[in-house]
Structure 1
């Protein structure tokens, strides 16, 4: 066929080969892009997992010093039961035990050992009891009668025990009652104000009538 009637056939062949090469390049480019996207996504997931694992390990490495029975501080990454027992004893001494002279001081100290949630509930009743103690010369003694029982929960540590409460005025006992007590202790970051690294977050008392 003469070239004067149109584009020579060899040009069509060249154009076809060019389009085929371009298509192959496009397919290869798309494949490479998909592969790179998959690699990037994989690396991002690996980085996230490494950060999570590192944060978890860092948390396990954090250790605080808790005094033992001799007053020597021992580094531990979990709050030992002896520390919970010591805090509970101090809290109960201030919350339940008072004389007319110490009622306000004890009330304020027990409020300091509470979480903000429990403090909002107990502050007003404690002030009323402290005022009654000072005005009516009431002394209260709270004596634990059973060992502490400890339970670890997602909310914190539950300390359970039984106790006797005595109330007296002018050396005359006018009230005696027995109670089941449950105290929820919540871990907090140690500070000058929260030197125990725990606070009282909730408490339940039920009188034993039998």
Structure 2
């Protein structure tokens, strides 16, 4: 009867096995796709989290080395006090201490350590003082007489102290004054020109009259 009215039963068995195999392949493909999708989603999530963490850490990192007492540069996430004090010492040595031979060089170096705002205020005066020093053979010495006091403000770092200023010509001191000094330091992006990563942004002095 089966041979007369339809295909042999073995063909149906072959077709059934083929459909079953195809179904199994489809199921396996779907399973693999789901697994791969899950793995990709996990990797994307991990990468996103790493990027977010890296951005957070970048805000805490300092991409600049500050010298310690041994002169070794160490990366820190805040400007250390020793660096501020070293900068102030170098700035004052150039701004206030000079001889007739070094007056112009010192004035130029002091201006290089200033912000554009402070330079606009001090440039003419520094040039006049340097010229007087060279022409009249004036030597000036600035000696700090109190410890540095450092305050952190939204504007920058305020360094205050007291100092004596001596002026001499031909090895004879002709002027001696005592001052209260306040120096505002402003952080800047480090570069070849601003290798200290800070500049002097304001300078206030008040003579102490006994």
Whether the 8 Å CA contact 2:113–2:199 is kept in 1: the answer is yes
Match runs of 1:121-136 below 5 Å: 121-136=121-136
Match runs of 1:31-110 below 5 Å: 57-110=57-110
Cα distance in 1, alignment partners of residues 192 and 63 from structure 2: 17
Quote the residue 2:146 is aligned against: 146
Quote the residue 1:178 is aligned against: 178
TM-score between both structures, scaled by the size of structure 2: 0.73
Deviation string 1:118-174 (CA, Å, 9 cap, x unpaired) is 000100000000000000000000000011000000000000000000000000100
Deviation string 1:22-56 (CA, Å, 9 cap, x unpaired) is xxxxxxxxxxxxxxxxxxxxxxxxxxxxx999755
Taking only aligned residues, the RMSD between alpha carbons, in angstroms, comes to: 1.6
Match runs of 1:5-20 below 5 Å: none
How much has 1:62 moved relative to structure 2? Answer: 3.2
> How many residues are matched?
160
Structure 2 stretches lacking a partner, 5+ long: 1-50
Structure 1 stretches lacking a partner, 5+ long: 1-50
* Dislocated runs of 4+, deviation >3 Å: 51-57
Give the 3 Å change call, closer, same or farther, for CA 56–202 of structure 1 in structure 2.
Answer: farther
Cα distance in 1, alignment partners of residues 131 and 198 from structure 2: 28
Quote the residue 1:120 is aligned against: 120
